[in-house]
Amino acid sequence: MQRLQIQVRTQCRRCGALMRADLDELVARYGGNASLIDRQEQCRMVACDGATFYLAARRYGGPWRILVDDAALRDGLSLCPPAHLAHGRPAPVANAADLPSPQRR
């Protein structure tokens, strides 16, 4: 991922905040071969105790894919609030993860 210059973000399940993730920091923390699929982190927004999941885009401006594979974790995504950017602005469709609806699974 680091070599391919993939873009990575986190999205909070509780508050919906989209945050940039730093690949160098992730590699330092988990090692270069670690996977972000199904990895949960504590939300970094002050006063939020939600869990985040990872999203990745292959190139700048490319579509974002949710890095959640586990069926139970994916089902929970349908309960998430809409993703939002700084200042509470809603994420444009191109920036928001395509959350699965419960009836599709």
Residues forming contacts to Zn ion in the complex (CB under 5 A) are 12, 14-15, 43, 45, 48, 50
Element (H, E) at 11: strand 7-12
Residues 22 and 29: their CA atoms lie apart, in Å, by 11
Q: What secondary structure letter does DSSP report for 84? A: B
CB closer to Zn ion, 1 vs 21 = 21
Place of tokens 């089902």: 75
C-beta of residue 53 within 8 angstroms of C-beta of residue 18: no
We find the least distance from the C-beta atom of residue 61 to Zn ion, in angstroms, to be 25
We find the least distance from the C-beta atom of residue 59 to Zn ion, in angstroms, to be 27
We find the least distance from the C-beta atom of residue 16 to Zn ion, in angstroms, to be 7
We find the least distance from the C-beta atom of residue 32 to Zn ion, in angstroms, to be 27
H helices present in the chain, as ranges: 23-30, 71-77
CB closer to Zn ion, 2 vs 42 = 42
CB closer to Zn ion, 14 vs 39 = 14
CB closer to Zn ion, 1 vs 41 = 41
